[in-house]
A and B are shown apart, each in its own frame.
Chain A
Amino acid sequence: MSVLPLLNWLQNTGWATALKESALVFPFIEGSHILALSFSVGMVMMLDLRLLRVSFRSQPVALMMEQLMPWTMSGFGIMLLTGFLLFATQAVKAWGNTFFRIKMILLILSGINALYYQLRYFPKMAEWDRAGTPLGVRAIAVLSLIFWIGVIACGRTMAYEL
């Protein structure tokens, strides 16, 4: 089954067309999508740097996560909402765009990476937090940085081919 009819329907809905043709709302949504990077990926980077022990070494990971997470989550909420709206304005073209596809794959990999951290290392945090992060956690942090910078690069590059 092809998703194309669905994408076609999406980009031809009244609100998607209106959004695409709007001289002010579209730039506002796109600008929000980009500037919310400071809340979403910016905060994730800070946690990754802590996991790699290059910053906030004196503070427990548990505390850093607790302080960062609410803002990270609201940041990703804005990203998801604005990202979906941007996608809806040119769903068919975006779907066929190589960099959009790589971006989606990197997002999924990033999600799996974070999920693995939550399942494997988060429950036992009390054991390793003060002692210094295990090698596995550092690998997760490096992968996270690579995936997210990749997401930014693909997101920026796909715009040149739309």
Chain B
Amino acid sequence: MFQPLVEHFVQWCYYSKDYAFIRDSKYGIPIVQSLHLTGITLLLGTVVILNLRLLGLGFRRLPLPLLSEQLWPWMKRGLLLTVCAGILVFLPDPTRYAHSGPFRLKMVLLCLALLFQFTVFRKTVRADVESRLRNTLVASISLVLWFGVGWSGRAIAFFQ
């Protein structure tokens, strides 16, 4: 049931004239890829800072509630840029991605990372009382999920 739906969507994307200009212009793909990467830098930058703080490895002189309050909006802006640019990378060339194992893994991990980020992680970085065990556990899961998204994204270029 799922497969024909994906195929149909992929064909619709491919034959849609709206994104052809990205595929056909010389610098279309490099530009959207660059925006995707700039968004990732911002998004992962904030995620890394919060996780280093949760793990007690850095940023100890900045209180966690302050860090999360100041970084959260930039995390969301980075995420928005990454997702929007990512969609523009996908749409002009959907066959390349829809049939790629690493891309599918990336999407699964992305869903898990987002779900975790806006539930458990959000609650943990905003907690008034910090628990060492909880912080370590949450930071480990967050890092594995986000860098899992990153690594599987990179793997699209190298593996089927």
Interface residues of A (CB under 8 A from B): 23, 27, 30-31, 34-35, 37-39, 41-43, 45-46, 49, 55-56, 58-59, 63, 66-67, 70-71, 149, 152-153, 156-157, 160
B41 interfacial contact with A, CB 8 Å: yes
Q: Is the interface of B mostly helix, strand, loop or mixed?
A: helix
Interface centre among A38, A66, A67, A152 (most CB of B within 10 A): A38
Known contacts A35-B147, A37-B40, A43-B45, A56 near B70 by CB under 8 Å: yes
B38 contacts A49, C-beta separation under 8 Å: no
Question: In whole angstroms, how far apart are the Cα atoms of A160 and B155 in the complex?
Answer: 17
Q: Choose from B42, B58, B73, B157 the contact partner of A71 (Cβ within 8 Å).
A: B58
Known contacts A152-B38, A153-B34, A55 near B74 by CB under 8 Å: yes
Interface centre among A31, A42, A58 (most CB of B within 10 A): A42
Interface centre among B41, B47, B147, B158 (most CB of A within 10 A): B41
Chain B: interface size category: 35 or more
Q: Choose from A153, A157, A160 the contact partner of B38 (Cβ within 8 Å).
A: A153
User: Nearest-CB distance from B152 to chain A (Å)?
Assistant: 10
User: Nearest-CB distance from A72 to chain B (Å)?
Assistant: 10
**Chain A residues within 8 Å of B58, by CB:** 67, 70-71
Known contacts A37-B40, A45-B45, A157 near B30 by CB under 8 Å: yes
Chain A residue at smallest Cβ distance from B155: A27
Q: Which B56-81 residues have C-beta < 8 A from chain A?
A: 58-59, 61-62, 66, 70-71, 73-74
Could you list 11 further interchain pairs (A-B, Cβ under 8 angstroms) beyond the known A35-B44, A37-B40, A45-B41? A30-B154, A31-B150, A38-B40, A38-B45, A55-B74, A56-B66, A70-B58, A153-B34, A156-B30, A156-B33, A157-B34
User: Nearest-CB distance from B8 to chain A (Å)?
Assistant: 30
Task: Pick 11 A–B contacts, CB within 8 A, sort by A.
Answer: A35-B151, A41-B41, A42-B48, A43-B49, A45-B45, A46-B46, A55-B73, A56-B66, A66-B61, A71-B48, A160-B29
Q: Which B4-35 residues have C-beta < 8 A from chain A?
A: 27, 29-31, 33-34
Question: In whole angstroms, how far apart are the Cα atoms of A45 and B41 in the complex?
Answer: 9
Chain A residue at smallest Cβ distance from B45: A42
Question: In whole angstroms, how far apart are the Cα atoms of A153 and B61 in the complex?
Answer: 34
**Chain A residues within 8 Å of B31, by CB:** 153
Question: In whole angstroms, how far apart are the Cα atoms of A152 and B159 in the complex?
Answer: 23
B62 contacts A63, C-beta separation under 8 Å: yes
Chain A residue at smallest Cβ distance from B57: A71
